[in-house]
Amino acid sequence: MKTLCVIGSGTAGVISACRLLSDTKYNVHVIYDPTIPILGIGESTTAQIPMALYKAAKFSLWKDGDFLDATVKYGVKYMGWRPHDIYSRFPTPNHGIHFNNFNLAEFTYKRLKEIHGDRFTIIHNGVNDIIEHIDSVDVVTTNGTNKYHVVVDCRGWPETYEDYTTANIPVNGAIAHVKPTPNNFGYTGHTATKDGWMFTIPLTSRTGYGYLYNRDITSKEKAIENFAKVLKVNISSLAEDHRSFEWKNYYAKKFFTTRVIKNGNRALFYEPLEAMSGYFYDDLMTYAINYINDKRGPREQNKFTVSDINSKLTLKAKYIEMFINYIYHGGSNYDTDFWKTTKKKCSDFLSGNEYFSDLTSVMKASDIHNRSDNQWYQTFTLQNWYDFDKQFGYHYWSDSRESKEW
């Protein structure tokens, strides 16, 4: 039997292994170095992630939630972006989860081994190189070389960005802090701040906060100072008790070669608005499954080719980039340097953007009185797009006179 390989133990690595075990017939090896710490970010998901965990690992929020400190997520609540709160909900009956990222691999890999037995193997080794051949892939580890049919590379941020396209996204830094207070309020908080916005993630063991900002506008020291004010904690204590992250926003120029598939931060990294990166990682695996199984995609006349898949994933990356600019371009309740710069930059990005024009055409052509949660346009349903447009007050395709009950 052919053997597939996933390299990495972060969220994308775990989800990739789950999808390969549940949706292919092949053996799956996971290779990772347990001495390399995971980033521990991305603890809020879209609805696809708990479904992947359920299919492969029989994960149940009600039975297994305590292992991941998990809480249910019905959507996102935007606060401070407009005078009123804004809600972004998952289509009924879907839900995401909030979870402890540091526990995910240990829980899931143990469960996968219990369920799938010899089909699933964990190898604790560092990876030095990936060598692709016509009919196989060599993974060179610290303890020898293993040969595989296909490799999913989830090794995190790339060493260089020559093979990546920079995305137009406003924030590129974060200060993270945890309070030991458990919460379970059913949504991820997206609170606008003078420097960007703050996420709030409720877990059964703690509540996580992340202060997102633009390093070209706000210094790390100023971000910590303003973050402390928002959290109402002492600045000096926060300066000592936090984790900081800096990144580029990007997507790969090529996600697939014949036998190596990039996923996770190796494929794309966008800021955490609406957990769109995690959505992309799972969607990428749908293409990977069809490719590995040599199946046709939905409504496709021909089998997926590497070129076709790369084009489709690039398009999806650009649509998510467009969505993020769409959310930001109207600004927030703050009139600061960040928001002035961001409003102009994102508005300029949307002006003449072919994907935004296409979305507008689709939405204007749809019957707003017969919208369905089953009608999708890229990452969201038509109902979601309508609700965004109305609640943010854009009215590109919503009627400003129409009321909406929440």
**pLDDT of 373 higher than 50:** yes
9-19 pLDDT tens trace: 999 999 999 99
pLDDT recorded at residue 401: 45
155-201 pLDDT tens trace: 999 999 999 999 999 999 999 999 999 999 999 999 999 999 999 99
CB contact at 8 A, 31 and 16:
no
CB contact at 8 A, 140 and 129:
yes
**pLDDT of 264 higher than 50:** yes
Q: Where are the chain's structural domains?
A: 3-70+95-165+251-304, 170-246, 316-391
Q: Is the dihedral of CA 370, 375, 377, 380 positive or negative?
A: positive
* Rounded average pLDDT over 65-72: 96
Which pLDDT band, with edges at 50, 70 and 90, does 403 fall under? very low
389-400 pLDDT tens trace: 999 999 999 875
pLDDT recorded at residue 286: 96
**pLDDT of 299 higher than 90:** no
pLDDT recorded at residue 404: 42
Cis preceding-peptide flag for 93 (omega within 30 of 0): yes
92-150 pLDDT tens trace: 899 999 999 999 999 999 999 999 999 999 999 999 999 999 999 999 999 999 999 99
Of 76 and 41, the one with more pLDDT: 76
**pLDDT of 280 higher than 80:** yes
pLDDT above 70 as % of the chain = 94
Domain 3-70+95-165+251-304: CATH architecture, name and number where available: 3-Layer(bba) Sandwich (3.50)
Residues in a beta bridge with 165: 251
Return the minimum-mean-pLDDT range out of 144-158, 296-310, 316-330.
296-310
Which pLDDT band, with edges at 50, 70 and 90, does 370 fall under? low
Residues in a beta bridge with 243: 176
**What is the bridge-based pairing of β-strands 27-32 and 187-193?**
unpaired
pLDDT recorded at residue 378: 87
Q: Can you tell me the distance from the alpha carbon of 257 to that of 222, in angstroms, rounded to the nearest whole number?
A: 43
Q: Can you tell me the distance from the alpha carbon of 318 to that of 152, in angstroms, rounded to the nearest whole number?
A: 22
**pLDDT of 44 higher than 50:** yes
Domain 170-246: CATH architecture, name and number where available: 2-Layer Sandwich (3.30)
pLDDT recorded at residue 405: 40
Residue 328 Ramachandran class (φ > 0 left, ψ -120 to 50 alpha, else beta): alpha
Which pLDDT band, with edges at 50, 70 and 90, does 368 fall under? low
Of 36 and 250, the one with more pLDDT: 250
DSSP reduced 3-state for 222: helix
* Rounded average pLDDT over 197-213: 97
| Single pTM value for the model | 0.94
Q: Can you tell me the distance from the alpha carbon of 191 to that of 111, in angstroms, rounded to the nearest whole number?
A: 36
